[in-house]
């Protein structure tokens, strides 16, 4: 049976961009007769807020997006809060360390930015790591550790990574893409890459549908799946909703949070129909329930282009909501 998930981070209220991914992930599982899992990625304790988690749950219910496993539902594969799963991440780190795939890194972000220079630039995954600390001797590592707490990096192998994305199509990443990456920060917080890999595998997730801002993180996760002897899911990366500034939708673009839409009196069917329209699932932004979209859902119908949200569109499609 197919198993998909939506995994929001409770550091900010859910906005239209998050809701688009939640809707598509939900539709993928409901159309396949699968299991939809809700996982809360609150591993960053300093930024995560329990009250935001509660608002996310309320927003999903308001949109008509129920879940089979997760907070308030079955806990067959739980716990569903990352903050309660740290022991599982420790076990994964221990296996990687035993296999010689980890090494301490003493580089600061400022140092990496200085090394990267203009030709490298920054992707959503940050600066490609040049391997500075990979070849340090045991003696040098011990000396540096006396003065600075290191992060832990995963040493990627020499192989290229390729996979077929359910929306973006065939993807090929050359050997060494992005460089060795952090799996535990110097403050001992586990990285997204490690946590999401362990969680999806142990929860039996077969299909991951998420925003295409995470497309270039997929090779790193596939390296981890292989190193940990885990089976990776099928991936599908959907285009984002952008603001008029060309950047992905966020708080800076105004009152476009789902909670704000609810408070403004917008009907959930209006939001669902509009999200389906910009995703390529409807020819016109008509009001519709999420359940009504299930029979016609297919991955190949999802638009491959990002959608730029203008102020005029907000006023026409979502009256009563301030776009800025």
Q: In terms of DSSP H, where are the helices of the chain?
A: 16-32, 50-63, 86-98, 109-120, 138-145, 192-202, 218-228, 258-263, 268-278, 290-293, 311-317
* Active-site position among 95, 251, 267, 291: 251
251 is catalytic: yes
- Find the angle CA(283)-CA(17)-CA(210) to the nearest 5 degrees: 95
Beta bridge partners of 114: none
Nearest to 16 by CA among 200, 305, 211: 211
Nearest to 255 by CA among 246, 269, 265, 247: 265
DSSP string, 246-315: SSBP-GGG-S-BHHHHHHTT--HHHHHHHHHHHTTS-SS-----HHHHSTT--GGGS-SS-EE--HHHHH
Nearest to 59 by CA among 226, 272, 254, 212: 272
Q: Parallel, antiparallel, or unpaired: how do β-strands 102-105 and 151-154 relate?
A: antiparallel
Which structure tokens are listed for 321?
């909501």
Cis omega (within 30 of 0) for bond into 283: no
Cα dihedral 166/223/153/141 (nearest 10): -170
In the β-sheet with 207-211, what is the strand arrangement from edge to edge?
Answer: 35-38, 3-6, 207-211, 234-238
For residues 295 and 180, what is the distance between their CA atoms, to the nearest angstrom?
43
Q: Which residues are catalytic?
A: 251
């Amino acid at each position: 049976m197919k198993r998909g998930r939506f995994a929001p981070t409770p550091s900010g209220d859910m906005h239209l961009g998050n809701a688009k991914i939640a809707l598509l992930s939900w539709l993928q599982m409901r159309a396949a007769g699968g299991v939809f899992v809700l996982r809360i990625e609150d591993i960053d304790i300093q930024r995560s807020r329990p009250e935001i988690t509660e608002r996310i749950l309320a927003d999903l219910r308001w949109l008509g997006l129920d879940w089979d496993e997760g907070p308030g539902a079955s806990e067959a594969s739980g716990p569903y809060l990352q903050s309660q799963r740290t022991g599982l991440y420790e076990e994964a780190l221990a296996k990687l360390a035993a296999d010689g795939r980890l090494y301490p890194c003493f580089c600061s972000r400022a140092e990496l930015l200085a090394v990267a220079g203009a030709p490298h630039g920054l992707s959503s995954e940050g600066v490609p790591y040049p391997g500075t600390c990979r070849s340090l001797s045991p003696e040098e590592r011990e000396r540096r550790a006396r003065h600075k707490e290191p992060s832990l990096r995963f040493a990627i192998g020499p192989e290229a990574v390729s996979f077929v994305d359910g929306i973006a199509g065939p993807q090929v990443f050359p050997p060494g893409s992005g460089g060795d990456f952090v799996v535990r920060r110097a403050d001992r917080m586990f990285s997204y890459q490690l946590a999401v890999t362990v969680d999806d595998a142990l929860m039996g997730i077969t299909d991951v549908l998420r925003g295409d801002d995470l497309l270039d993180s997929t090779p790193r996760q596939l390296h981890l799946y292989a190193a940990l002897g885990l089976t990776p899911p099928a991936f599908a990366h959907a285009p984002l909703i952008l603001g008029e500034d060309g950047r992905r939708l966020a708080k800076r673009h105004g009152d476009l949070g789902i909670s704000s839409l609810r408070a403004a009196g917008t009907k959930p069917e209006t939001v669902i129909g509009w999200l389906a329209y910009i995703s390529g699932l409807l020819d016109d932004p008509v009001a519709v329930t999420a359940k009504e979209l299930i029979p016609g859902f297919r991955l190949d119908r999802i638009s491959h282009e990002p959608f730029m949200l203008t102020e005029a569109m907000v006023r026409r499609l979502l009256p009563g909501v301030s776009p800025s």
